Amino acid sequence: MQHASVTDDSAHDPTPSLFDSQDTGSDGADATPPKKKKGAPSAAPTSTETTSGGGKASASKPPSGKSAVGRASTSKSGAAKSTDASATDAEAAETAAKVKAAKDADAADRPGARKSAAEMATRQRDISVAEFFTKNRHLLGFDSPLKALLTAVKEAVDNSLDACEEAGILPEVAVEISPTGEDRFRMCVEDNGPGIVAEQVGKVFGKLLYGSKFHKLSQSRGQQGIGISAAVMYGQLTTGKPARILSRTSKRAEAHEFFLSVDTTQNKPDIHEKKSIAWEKDHGTRVEIEMEARYQKGLRSVDMYLKQTAIANPHVTIHYTDPGGEKVTYERATKELPAAVEEIKPHPHGVELGRLIGMLKDTESRTLSGFLQEEFSRVGPKVALEICKLAKVSEKANPDRIAREEASALHDAIQKTKIMAPSTNCISPIGEELVLSGLKKELEADFYFANSRTPAVYRGNPFVIEVGIAYGKPGGVGLDVTEEGRIVKREKTAAATEDLVGNADEPIRVLRFANRVPLLHQQSACAVTKCVIQTNWRAYGLQHPKGALPIGAMAVMVHIASVWVPFTSESKEAIASYPEIMKEIKLGLQECGRKLGTYIRKGKRLRAEYDKRSYIETYIPHIGLALQEILDLDDATRDETVKVLDDVLQKSRKF
């Protein structure tokens, strides 16, 4: 009875004992465990938890005669229960962390959500150059269907002319444009060049930035290795069809036919079909590309491009068939190929510091003096020694061990040293005679003049500026002076050149060329147009509004020949405004302007004299009649007298 009394008092005692805590954990195993307060450790229950547990334990408590072994077992069971509770809490925390991470991910995917550096890093990857130009094709000249057709033809024709000239073959190019559907055309360009070996066809037409002209310093129409492969890429983007390529390298070799496109994700050719076929040409290449395009005639059309190509390339024969089936042939004016060009080394004045450091690391020369003489043009032992002394660097120093500070001093010394201009064997200008023959062949005018400047240098790159003018409206009436001194009218037949030489009240036409290639777009952004506007044409007898092109029936042709033409973009449509280039263009324009001014002033005097003579000639027949009446002359004598008077008029007023 005494035990029961103690047990009962213990059950109602608010202060828990060690055994009560253990019994509570054991006896309450089947009951729902009480909720813990936030932040409380699982191994140390609070007084509230103990009281609650104790109350429940008293209801199901075993008899007071329970042994110590039973109480020990109950104690172990309570400890295990505490461990299980800790594990449950860890799982709950892990689940909560996962839920939070999922919410953060959802928030990051929402529009406008901020990204962490780690998230941004996971999205970065390499960009193929073909993939880049697929999204930015306007940089290559394929920004509109009208311009895309012209760009594709231009790239194919340029490649054909380069290949023929390099192989020593007089170029004969056929261009055909045929409609295949609404806003779709097939462009075909065929040449008689040396052809392309089968192993290289895929890379030439199906890989961007692949070519043989980028790394050599010599004049060529192409530079970057982008153009024709970009045309193939544009065709497959707009029509989904591959390009067809035919090529044959010699009469004994087989002709190969390719159907290929560009793998834009990896910038490599995707050859759909390749086979050998029979082809009537002994050697050459044919390119066929179907594309979304638009055709129209005008100053910036395929027709005008081919006409201007014939002007700047008088050694070329071009057969052209337009979408309407009309055929035009531009015959060559000479059978002489342009002079062969030689590849040169870079000029020291055109090398920047970063490139100089790279050349110092890559050279095989053992001494700095040898490096300067072997890697650059126009540098001999004397000039190399002068550069080294000015830079305070030993001429026997190992180029690979030149520090950045020494390289900077070397670069400054190169700029201060007087070095001979680079050789001009690397460029092949058209020449004054061929410029004139090209203008006369394609333009009808009263006056022609051409001027070829002496070679100059920009950034170490040699270049030559050539300027030609054709003055006088086609189909108009001119005046000539005969050997006898008579002024007679010169009747001229109207020619299909009215787009090149406009009316007397229209702005002059500016024909821009770079390495014999016509530039038809971005005229206002080109250095040539800026120089034409800045020249004072009023001094040469033309009307010239401020900030605009002069007014007159004239075409001005400006050609730059260089190993590296500084275009303003990859589409090669305008020349950058380097001061050295603009200076030479202005000098060439001024020389032509002086000749033009002399001709215009002479023409004005000739016109005034012609008007005076015409006025006097009106009265000569009346004088003859008066003499006949006074002197009683017969008709034959009267006519002879009139002729004598006319001869006296012409001889007495010599022009």
The pLDDT assigned to 47 comes to 40
Q: What are phi and psi of 111, to 5 degrees?
A: -60, 135
pLDDT at 143: 85
In percent, the amount of the chain with pLDDT more than 70 equals 78
User: How large is the average pLDDT for residues 47-68?
Assistant: 42
Q: Assess contact for 314 and 438: CB atoms under 8 A.
A: yes
- Domain ranges within the chain, ordered by starting residue: 2-106, 131-330, 348-416, 432-602, 606-652
Cβ neighbours around 453 below 10 Å, total = 18
Q: Any idea which of 190-199, 208-217, 375-384, 600-609 has the lowest mean pLDDT? A: 208-217
563 confidence band (pLDDT: 50, 70, 90): confident
Identical topology for domains 131-330 and 432-602: no
Q: Give residue 51's pLDDT band: very low, low, confident or very high (50, 70, 90).
A: very low
Q: What is the pLDDT at residue 121?
A: 82
The confidence band for 82, taking pLDDT boundaries of 50, 70 and 90, is low
Residue 420 has a pLDDT of 87
pLDDT at 25: 41
In this predicted model, which residue has the larger pLDDT, 651 or 75? 651
What is the pLDDT at residue 247? 96
Q: What is the mean pLDDT of residues 93-99?
A: 75
Structure-token pair, residue 434: 């061929």
- In this predicted model, what pLDDT tens digit does every residue of 316-334 receive, in sequence order? 999 999 999 999 999 998 8
Residue 169: exposure state from Cβ atoms within 10 A (0-12, 13-18, ≥19): middle
CATH code for the structural domain at 432-602: 3.30.230.10
Average pLDDT over residues 305-314: 91
Q: In this model, does residue 103 exceed pLDDT 70?
A: no
Range name among 97-101, 324-328, 401-405, 575-579 with the lowest pLDDT average: 97-101
Which range, of 222-226, 331-335, 447-451, 462-466, averages the lowest pLDDT? 222-226
Specify the fold of 348-416. Answer: Helicase, Ruva Protein; domain 3 (1.10.8)
Q: Place 164 in a pLDDT band, splitting at 50, 70 and 90.
A: very high
CA distance 341 to 377: 16
pLDDT at 298 (0 to 100): 84
User: What is the CATH superfamily name and number for domain 131-330?
Assistant: Histidine kinase-like ATPase, C-terminal domain (3.30.565.10)
> What's the mean pLDDT in 438-452?
89
Task: Give the DSSP letter string of 146-209.
Answer: HHHHHHHHHHHHHHHHHHHHHHT---EEEEEEEEEETTEEEEEEEE-S----HHHHHHHHH-SS
pLDDT the model gives residue 449: 95
Predicted confidence at residue 20, as pLDDT, reads 44
Identify the pLDDT of residue 558.
96
User: Quick one: pLDDT at residue 446?
Assistant: 84
Residue of 645, 622, 467 lying closest to 554 (CA atoms) = 467
Q: Are strands 243-248 and 255-263 parallel, antiparallel or unpaired?
A: antiparallel
Statement: residue 88 has pLDDT above 90: no
Q: What global pTM score does this model have?
A: 0.69
The reported pLDDT for the residue numbered 106 is 62
Work out the pLDDT band at 31, boundaries 50, 70, 90: very low
Tokens in use for 623? 């004088």
What single DSSP character describes residue 270?
A: E
Q: What is the mean pLDDT of residues 116-130?
A: 81
Residue predicted with more confidence, 640 or 82: 640
Top mean pLDDT of 204-208, 210-214, 577-581 is at: 577-581
pLDDT of 557 strictly over 50: yes
Confidence band, pLDDT 50/70/90 cuts, at residue 497: very low
Question: What is the model's pLDDT at position 287?
Answer: 96
Structural contact between residues 225 and 211, judged by C-beta atoms closer than 8 angstroms: yes
What is the identity of the amino acid at 293?
A
State residue 423's pLDDT score.
81
Per-residue pLDDT at 191: 95
CA angle, corner 78, sides to 72 and 84, nearest 5?
145
